[in-house]
Amino acid sequence: MYGEDPLFGLLGRIGRPVEGHRPWPRYVTDRAGWLQLIEALAGNGWSLLGLWGEADTVHAAVREELAGDVAVVSLPCPDRRFPSLSAVRPAANRLERAAHDLFGLIPENGVDGRPWLDHGHWGVRHPLAASPAPVPPTTEAQPPYRFLPAEGPGLHQIPVGPVHAGIIEPGHFRFTANGETVVRLEERLGYVHKGVEGLMRGKMPAEAARIVARLSGDSTVAHALAFARAVEAALGIEPPPRAVWLRALMAELERVANHLGDIGAICNDAAFAFMLAEMGQLREMVLRAADACFGHRLMMDRVVPGGVMPDIAESGRTRLGDLTADLRRRFLPLVAIYDTKTSLLDRTVTTGVVSTGLAQRFGAGGHVGRASGRGLDARKSPGYPPYTDLEFEVPVLTEGDVNARIWIRIREVEQSLSLIDQILRRMPGVPRGPDGIVPPPMLPDLPKRAGQGGPRGSGEGMALVESFRGEIMTWVRLADDGTIDRCHPRDPSWFQWPLLEAAIEGNIVADFPLCNKSFNGSYSGQDL
């Protein structure tokens, strides 16, 4: 199967497969093979799914989009140097900078060598490297981050953040403007770096799942699901069928809640507070239903490796059926108001445009990619259960502006409501009540069971899961004792934040909040 595809044909020539990597293959190559990979990326449409490091290895996940095939390519680099991918896949730039900050890996001929996550306050250099380097004591002040200079007559810079007026996460935005027109925007993130990848080392999967669930709170279900599926792939286990459907139910509730909140917040940034209030009420309905059904408004820690915990409350099926009916009744009139409010459309139509080519080049997914003609959805391709047994459409537009990103959210709310109804009708088994669980396998005991007919304690696994922002990629390696040896969760915001810089170019400074909220990138998710 793999050898017949151009992607796997190349990887079969330049590398050797790694045993026990599931569900897609991983190949180890040498420097010459890595350079051939770069050459192949320059000449075709393979997309970059992620890039991450280890003490002496760099990994890249690649997808052949037409066939949907996925593979990981690994390059041992004992000298900690590797040829950069950023010239052919610009989305690799910040991932390479993060790998340098954390592991000391050096991308050769990279387009930008500045630090990304390391703001100079860690007290150590390359904390996840085999031998972290201490920061020499000095009385000199930390040198400021080198933003790109403003050059040209009439240009000036406007610094915004990292502390903002709203109750949002921190990020710095440096505008270069000519009057009110934005000539360039440069982002500086990393202010909420938490050391997630280091914290997971040595943890049992059940413990690490709690860390992953807090990587980006509004995507707690999606990140937990991606991690759980990666661990299950590494161990070669399958969750109970009912748990698979409950996971999808929670994921769609999360998607609806976030899209409703975003639609209202975008309109509020265009001075239409009515929509914020109305959408806020609908979002609150979803959160209260989630709390009633699963015991937590955000459904945090409800998806675990091997299953879910707890099952849906006995009244959950009726409660959620009533919820979808109420949302349809109240949501559609609000959509009509948005679509006929001329003063609102004047702010959203043709504002913050991202071209299809740029979205493709950066591998953007979710509402950002789909509003710009890139219709990938992990639920469809490569697909995962139970979505392979459900009927839904992936909305795609090509205008690429704020209005298109709103309409993608509107259509996805409609599709998610349909999915929730389908899941409620078809979910196997019976509810066990709020204190019941769909029990996961006893993951801490898995190493003891290895060799006794049970799952192995070690292995490598990878998962692609569609969050409300887009595609999450999680890669995990388990040690022989069943603990996390390495885990990399790649939030979709990594590939969307750079496009915000392009979207605001040529717009006025006052439109930045509107553009920013239409993206709604996760600061915490990309800051790790």
- For the annotated binding site for Mg(2+), the residues are 197
Q: Do residues 327 and 420 make contact, with C-beta atoms less than 8 angstroms apart?
A: no
510, 513, 519, 521 alpha-carbon torsion, rounded to 10°? 140
- How far apart, in whole angstroms, are the C-alpha atoms of residue 198 and residue 486? 8
3-state helix, strand, coil in the chain (%, to 5): 45, 20, 40
Residue with the two structure tokens 């595609």: 471
Residues of each annotated binding site: 197
Residues 168-195 as b or e (16 or more Cβ within 10 Å = b): ebbbbbbbbbeeeebbbbebbbbbbbee
Q: Residue 315 has which token pair?
A: 């009244």
- How far apart, in whole angstroms, are the C-alpha atoms of residue 497 and residue 127? 25
Q: Residue 334 has which token pair?
A: 């609000």
Q: Residue 143 has which token pair?
A: 């040198």
Residues 6+ apart with CB under 8 A from 300: 213, 214, 217, 220, 221, 224
Which residue in 229, 257, 519, 525 sits closest to 387, CA to CA?
229
Amino acid of residue 108? E
87, 89, 94, 98 alpha-carbon torsion, rounded to 10°? -90
Which residue in 136, 12, 144 sits closest to 69, CA to CA?
12
Q: At 126, is the secondary structure helix, strand, or coil?
A: coil
- How far apart, in whole angstroms, are the C-alpha atoms of residue 111 and residue 93? 7
Q: Do residues 527 and 414 make contact, with C-beta atoms less than 8 angstroms apart?
A: no
Q: At 422, is the secondary structure helix, strand, or coil?
A: helix
